[in-house]
Chains A and B, each alone.
Chain A
Amino acid sequence: MTVKQKIDARGAFCPGPLMELIAALKLVEVGDDIEVLSSDKGSVSDIPQWVNKVHHEMVGITPHEGYWSIVVRKAK
């Protein structure tokens, strides 16, 4: 897995991390991965739900102390 871009959205509240991810996805190429670091608990369910709805691809979610690493692949 090669992460093209990392977004540190720790400390941002809903829907901040999701909006930062969406803005970043507009700027990368299909197949690129973006990692979002989020301390917002809602992001763990909200981001996969959004990814599924708009047909991108979830790569994985890794819990850390006080935040999560969420990796999304641009699929279209």
Chain B
Amino acid sequence: MASSPLYIVLCSGEHEKLQMAAMMASVGAVSERPVEVFVSMNAILAFAKDAPAADARYQGGAFSKLLKEKRAPDAITLFRQGKALGDLKLWACSMALDVKGWELSALVDDLFDGALGLTKFLSDAENGQFITL
């Protein structure tokens, strides 16, 4: 039996939550489970193409510091691995892009599948497991 799809709304810009979302999305996708991630609010700032290096891209608390010190897998790299090895889609919230005055091209290359409205994402997510971070 096919696994229920996993839908993740990622709106926090905290490193710890970005990391957890990337871990869940990548592991879920490589475990033959379709995963879709909707990135909005502060979270989208971490995906800016012109963001500084990883140390400054990811802002967080005590655990963020540990993740950086221990060189845990980079969140964006994990998302890329999930896409390369499994069924993972990332959507940029169209409202967040509008508020920032950004186009999709402002985000890191080859990661997002497009811009999407919340209504469409919620509709798609009706038949799956839904997680908000």
A interface with B by C-beta (< 8 Å): 12-16, 18-19, 22-23, 26, 46, 50, 53-54
- Return chain B residues, CB-CB under 8 Å to A16: 73
Q: Flag if B78 contacts A19 (CB, 8 Å).
A: yes
For residue B75, give the distance in angstroms from its CB to the closest CB of chain A: 12
Whether A50 contacts B30 in the complex (CB less than 8 A), given A15-B78, A22-B85, A26-B85, comes out as: yes
Task: Give the residues from 52 to 95 in chain B that come closer than 8 angstroms, CB to CB, to chain A.
Answer: 70-73, 78, 81, 84-85
B23 within 8 A of A: yes
The tally of residues in B whose CB lies under 8 Å from a CB in A reads 14
Secondary structure at the A interface, as helix, strand, loop or mixed, is: helix
B interface with A by C-beta (< 8 Å): 23, 26-27, 30-32, 70-73, 78, 81, 84-85
Q: Flag if A54 contacts B72 (CB, 8 Å).
A: no
For residue A19, give the distance in angstroms from its CB to the closest CB of chain B: 5
Whether A12 contacts B73 in the complex (CB less than 8 A), given A53-B31, A54-B32, comes out as: yes
Q: Flag if B31 contacts A13 (CB, 8 Å).
A: no
Q: Flag if B30 contacts A18 (CB, 8 Å).
A: yes
Q: Flag if A14 contacts B31 (CB, 8 Å).
A: no
- Return chain B residues, CB-CB under 8 Å to A15: 23, 26-27, 73, 78
Q: Would you give 8 A-B contacts (Cβ < 8 Å), ordered by A?
A: A13-B71, A15-B27, A18-B30, A19-B30, A22-B85, A46-B27, A50-B27, A53-B31
Whether A13 contacts B85 in the complex (CB less than 8 A), given A19-B26, A19-B30, comes out as: no
